[in-house]
């Protein structure tokens, strides 16, 4: 069955013309493969997908009952079956969920707004140290950079995530405990890294402030009891709910540090941008639906063309953490090999990787252009210049547009030889060099442009990727909302930690030897 589901697509792929040919053969290509929603435009026309392939992919989505699952998702049904939970991050933006959920969200949003406004007005705090890891870190970190494009932040906002002492040291160095607000974010409040960093930050506060340190210490968690036991004062705890997955949680109280630093209005705009993408995803027909088209393109590249990775290259420094954020969002959600029913899947989530443009051009783009087999690329660019440095922005975007064109058109050996001949190269030099200077081309990419890097556009972009992940999870038949694969290593680390302190344990010879190095 798993194999059969891609047979028709494989037959189409076997006869697929080059992308440049598709532009000639399909006069409506720009209409059909470019979608716009609000400030976001996604151009899929440089993907190696024909109209016929697109049609067949839409059939695949229908066969997988995508619309049925989408309905269940927005209705708040417990689609995270292995954890028996609903998945309602759109409700945090005001879309979906029942009246109870909507009320909880509304009340929490009001509470967060009041708290953030008070901190901003009072002026007691100058710095915020946000402690958390994974979904309790990557979203706030990415969005803090993104919001800085259009919104002032008068706070020193720092992050500590790693259990490596360097992380909390870097975050605290040079700050005054008196004017620092520490916000500990952990859905479970059991995460080793976060608890250790929180303890160190609390020690640091208490060393200077003594008992008064509690006023500078906030927790955001779905485990209120755990935070209380840790010693956080009851009225210093902000809740979120088990129906918010960690990697989908930046929209909740997890974004408190952003609300304080950039103001609740900017944060509301960010939520509104995501809500607009939610309603688009919920209501638009599948063939005009941005997350659906993005997801199907990814399925085509992964399951039919056989690519094992996707490079995400934001040509926007303020989105430079996008690929790190998407690594968790996509790989923790869909990096699975069992279906919801416990059967083996076929190929699922590719490796997500990348770096900001233009930096990547001087590092791994050689591989993208001439390596085997290369990887599809998501280029992400912002049209508005937020930086006011004469010429820089145009140069940045010229590079972005040039790279997707170069990947697609390539350069044949014949053209290289002609150019070398015209430049006066001898025959033997031409023979040696021409193959090296040849570009295979026909390498697929999507270009996403935002009109500006506003909070609204930022929310739109992140929600687009969230829903893409949802759709791919449905096609691949996996539960995108659990993460059992992170557990085994965590458990072993706990017992090895005890052994480093003298306890006895049994391991394979290699691990024994490594533990021995620390004794």
Q: Name the residues that contact ligand F6P, by CB under 6 A.
A: 133-136, 186-188, 191, 194, 246-247, 332, 483, 486
CA quadruple 385, 389, 391, 393: dihedral, nearest 10: -30
Q: Which of 338, 453, 373 lies closest to 39, judged by CA?
A: 453
Bond from prior residue into 373 cis (ω within 30 degrees of 0): yes
State the minimum distance, in angstroms, from the CB of residue 80 to ligand F6P: 12
Strand ranges, E, within 223-372: 237-239, 309-315, 351-353
Euclidean distance between CA atoms 157 and 257, whole angstroms: 8
Q: What are phi and psi of 145, to 5 degrees?
A: -65, -45
Q: Which of 428, 414, 304, 407 lies closest to 365, judged by CA?
A: 407
Among residues 26, 161, 330, 332, the one annotated as catalytic is 332
State the minimum distance, in angstroms, from the CB of residue 249 to ligand F6P: 7
Nearer to ligand F6P, 311 or 326 (CB): 326
Nearer to ligand F6P, 248 or 270 (CB): 248
Q: Which of 27, 53, 81 lies closest to 477, judged by CA?
A: 81
Euclidean distance between CA atoms 455 and 39, whole angstroms: 11
Q: Which two tokens stand for residue 216?
A: 């500078």
Among residues 103, 124, 288, 490, the one annotated as catalytic is 490
Contacts of 11 (CB under 8 A, 6+ apart): none
Contact predicate 365/304, CB 8 Å: no
Active site residue 362: yes
Q: Which two tokens stand for residue 286?
A: 């599948």
Active site residue 490: yes
Active site residue 332: yes
What strand order describes the sheet that includes 34-37?
34-37, 40-43, 445-450, 377-382, 309-315, 351-353
Contacts of 28 (CB under 8 A, 6+ apart): 51
CA 462 to chain centre: 7
Nearer to ligand F6P, 328 or 449 (CB): 328
State the minimum distance, in angstroms, from the CB of residue 222 to ligand F6P: 8
Strand pairing report for 40-43 and 445-450: antiparallel
Q: What is the CA radius of gyration of the chain?
A: 25
Among residues 15, 362, 504, 519, the one annotated as catalytic is 362
Write out 66-91 in H/E/C secondary structure.
HHHHHHHHHHCCCCEHHHCECCCHHH
Nearer to ligand F6P, 130 or 247 (CB): 247
- Catalytic (active-site) positions: 332, 362, 490
């Amino acid at each position: 069955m798993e194999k059969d589901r891609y047979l028709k697509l494989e037959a189409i792929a076997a006869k697929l013309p080059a992308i440049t040919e598709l532009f000639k053969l399909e006069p409506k290509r720009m209409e059909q493969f470019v979608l716009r929603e609000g400030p976001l435009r996604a151009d899929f026309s440089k993907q190696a997908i024909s109209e016929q392939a697109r049609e067949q992919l839409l059939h695949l989505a229908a066969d997988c009952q995508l619309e049925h699952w989408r309905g269940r998702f927005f209705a708040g049904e417990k689609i995270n079956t292995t954890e028996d939970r609903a998945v309602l991050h759109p409700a945090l933006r005001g879309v979906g969920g029942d009246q109870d959920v909507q009320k909880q969200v509304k009340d929490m949003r009001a509470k967060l707004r009041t708290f953030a406004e008070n901190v901003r007005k009072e002026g007691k705090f100058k710095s915020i140290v946000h402690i958390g890891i994974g979904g309790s870190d990557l979203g706030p970190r990415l969005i803090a950079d993104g919001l800085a494009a259009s919104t002032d932040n008068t706070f020193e906002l720092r992050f500590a995530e790693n259990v490596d002492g360097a992380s909390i040291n870097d975050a605290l160095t040079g700050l005054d405990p008196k004017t620092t607000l520490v916000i500990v974010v952990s859905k479970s409040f059991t995460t080793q890294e976060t608890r250790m960093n929180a303890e160190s930050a609390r020690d640091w506060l208490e060393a200077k402030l003594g008992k008064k340190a509690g006023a500078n210490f906030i927790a955001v968690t779905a485990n209120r009891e755990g935070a209380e036991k840790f010693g956080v004062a009851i009225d210093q705890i902000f809740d979120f709910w088990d129906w918010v997955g960690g990697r989908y949680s930046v929209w909740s109280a997890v974004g408190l540090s952003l609300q304080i630093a950039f103001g609740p209005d900017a944060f509301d705009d960010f939520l509104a941008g995501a809500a607009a993408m939610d309603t688009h995803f919920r209501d638009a027909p599948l063939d005009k639906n941005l997350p659906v088209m993005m997801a199907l393109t990814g399925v085509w590249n992964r399951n039919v063309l056989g690519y094992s990775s996707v490079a995400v290259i934001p040509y926007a420094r303020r989105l430079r953490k996008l690929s790190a954020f998407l690594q968790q969002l996509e790989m923790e959600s869909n990096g699975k090999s069992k279906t919801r029913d416990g059967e083996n899947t076929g190929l699922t989530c590719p490796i997500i990787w990348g770096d900001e443009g233009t930096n990547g051009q001087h590092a791994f783009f050689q591989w993208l252009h001439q390596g085997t087999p290369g990887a599809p690329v998501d280029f992400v660019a912002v049209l508005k210049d937020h930086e006011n440095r004469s010429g820089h922005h145009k140069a940045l975007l010229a590079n972005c547009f040039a790279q997707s064109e170069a990947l697609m058109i390539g350069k044949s050996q014949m053209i290289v030889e002609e150019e070398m001949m015209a430049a006066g190269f001898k025959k033997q030099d031409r023979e040696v060099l021409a193959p090296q200077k040849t570009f295979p081309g026909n390498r697929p990419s999507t270009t996403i442009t935002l009109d500006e890097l506003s909070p609204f556009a930022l929310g739109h972009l992140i929600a687009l990727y969230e829903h893409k992940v949802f759709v791919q999870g449905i096609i691949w038949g996996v539960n995108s909302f659990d993460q059992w694969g992170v557990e085994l290593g965590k458990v072993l680390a706990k017992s090895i930690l005890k052994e480093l302190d003298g306890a006895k344990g049994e391991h394979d010879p290699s691990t024994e030897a490594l533990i021995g190095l620390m004794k």
